């Protein structure tokens, strides 16, 4: 059986090393399944990996795409917990979710939440697991606290807005576009704040006003750079700033005296690694986000879909920062 797959052949700043190739798909091994991919989610690390700028650096060439959803076509001889035709979600880091078919270990798959479409399910796992590990496990967000979510119009940001609201926080969503931020109000943001005004980063006074001078108790930061620099000046005493990523392109430096003066904590978040280091907690995290989803509190927002033939265009679209929520690749 042949399968199309988006593959990175060599690293480059302009994605010239990325192309759609045809690959032969083997039969599944004893603990593996053959999956017909229905949809796959485009994440910012997919783009960074083509440049060698992500912390995980797969060996070249590598299949692109970290997660998706699909239908089981064949089972390995030792697979007992799944059936042919099961609708599933999967993790595929290094395997290449941007494909027609994939062979996956049974540990990499789970039954798709019944209330999500294939496109929504493809966009679910990474974003909402990141939000859960950040806000619940690492940030210890409490009901009534002020939560400041940067990059709120992106996939992981919008997941944090929805989860923060579910947990009873006062959610302040930030971004660079009023039009985009209006969408976050539909998903639970109590307030929206532009991070940039007249070409300059400036939001801290507005955050202080919205929190009655206290500042944010928890700050969710997938942006870094100047946004981080200003965040530590509008954080409450004893606050927690969660380092989720550096979408701005600059890794900031912390003036350590600020942490001393304001008594705040800087906490790194790697949601996948959290589960690998703490397997039991990892299982609990995955079950928790599925339970919340199936109660109807999570609703992944898909702003644009691309056919697999246009998968490279989907990654380029993400890199241009035009999206609201998630971009998804579909295979029909």
Using alpha carbons, select from 328, 325, 318 the residue that is nearest to residue 152.
325
Tell me the pLDDT tens digit for each residue of 219-233: 999 999 999 999 999
Partners of 175 in the β-ladder: 194
**Contacts (Cβ under 8 Å, ≥6 apart) of 113:** 89, 121, 124, 290, 293, 294
pLDDT of 76 reads 94
**pLDDT attached to residue 12:** 94
pLDDT at residue 248 in the model = 81
Q: What average pLDDT score do residues 272-287 get?
A: 91
What pLDDT band is residue 324 in, cutting at 50, 70 and 90? Answer: confident
pLDDT 10s digits, 16-32: 999 999 999 999 999 99
pLDDT value of residue 93: 76
Confidence of residue 310 (pLDDT cuts 50, 70, 90): very high
Tell me which of 113 and 94 has the higher pLDDT: 113
Q: What is the mean pLDDT of residues 153-169?
A: 95
Please tell me the distance from the alpha carbon of residue 281 to that of residue 287, in angstroms, as a whole number. 10
Any alpha helices (H) in the chain, and if so which ranges?
44-49, 118-122, 125-132, 155-166, 178-186, 204-210, 225-231, 256-262, 271-277, 279-294, 311-319
pTM listed for this prediction: 0.90
- Span 285-311, average pLDDT: 93
Q: Is 275 left (phi over 0), alpha (psi -120 to 50) or beta?
A: alpha
Domains of the chain: residue spans and CATH? 2-124+301-330 (3.90.180.10), 127-272 (3.90.180.10)
State mean pLDDT over 267-284: 91
The mean-pLDDT minimum among 157-161, 203-207, 272-276 falls in 272-276
- Note the pLDDT of residue 255: 93
Phi, psi of 67 (to 5 degrees): -160, 160
Indicate left, alpha or beta for 223 from its phi (over 0: left) and psi (-120 to 50: alpha): alpha
């Amino acid at each position: 059986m042949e399968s199309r797959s988006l593959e990175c052949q060599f690293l480059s700043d302009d994605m010239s090393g990325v192309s759609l190739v045809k690959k032969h798909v083997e039969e599944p091994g004893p603990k593996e399944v053959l999956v017909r991919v229905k949809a796959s989610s485009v994440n910012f690390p997919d783009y960074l990996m083509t440049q060698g700028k992500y912390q995980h650096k797969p060996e070249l060439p590598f299949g692109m795409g970290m997660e998706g959803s699909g239908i089981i076509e064949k089972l390995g001889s030792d697979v007992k917990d799944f059936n042919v035709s099961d609708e599933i979600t999967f993790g595929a880091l290094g395997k290449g979710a941007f494909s027609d078919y994939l062979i996956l270990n049974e540990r990499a798959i789970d039954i798709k939440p019944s209330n999500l479409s294939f496109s929504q399910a493809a966009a679910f796992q990474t974003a909402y697991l990141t939000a859960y590990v950040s806000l619940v496990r690492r940030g210890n967000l409490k009901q009534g606290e002020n939560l400041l979510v940067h990059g709120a119009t992106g996939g992981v940001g919008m997941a944090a807005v929805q989860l923060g609201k579910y947990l009873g926080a006062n959610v302040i969503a930030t971004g660079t576009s009023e039009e985009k931020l209006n969408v976050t109000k539909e998903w639970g943001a109590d307030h929206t704040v532009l991070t940039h005004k007249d070409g300059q980063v400036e939001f801290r006074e507005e955050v202080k006003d919205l929190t009655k001078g206290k500042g944010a108790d928890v700050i969710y930061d997938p942006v870094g750079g100047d946004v981080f620099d200003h965040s530590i000046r509008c954080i409450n005493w004893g606050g927690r700033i969660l380092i989720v990523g550096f979408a701005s392109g600059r890794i900031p430096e912390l003036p350590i005296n600020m942490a001393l003066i304001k008594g705040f904590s800087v906490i790194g978040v790697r949601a996948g690694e959290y589960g690998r280091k703490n397997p039991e907690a990892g299982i609990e995290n995955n079950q928790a986000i599925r339970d919340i989803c199936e109660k109807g509190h999570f609703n992944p927002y898909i702003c644009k879909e691309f056919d697999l033939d246009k998968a490279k265009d989907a990654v380029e679209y993400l890199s241009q920062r035009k999206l609201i929520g998630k971009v998804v690749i579909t295979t029909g």
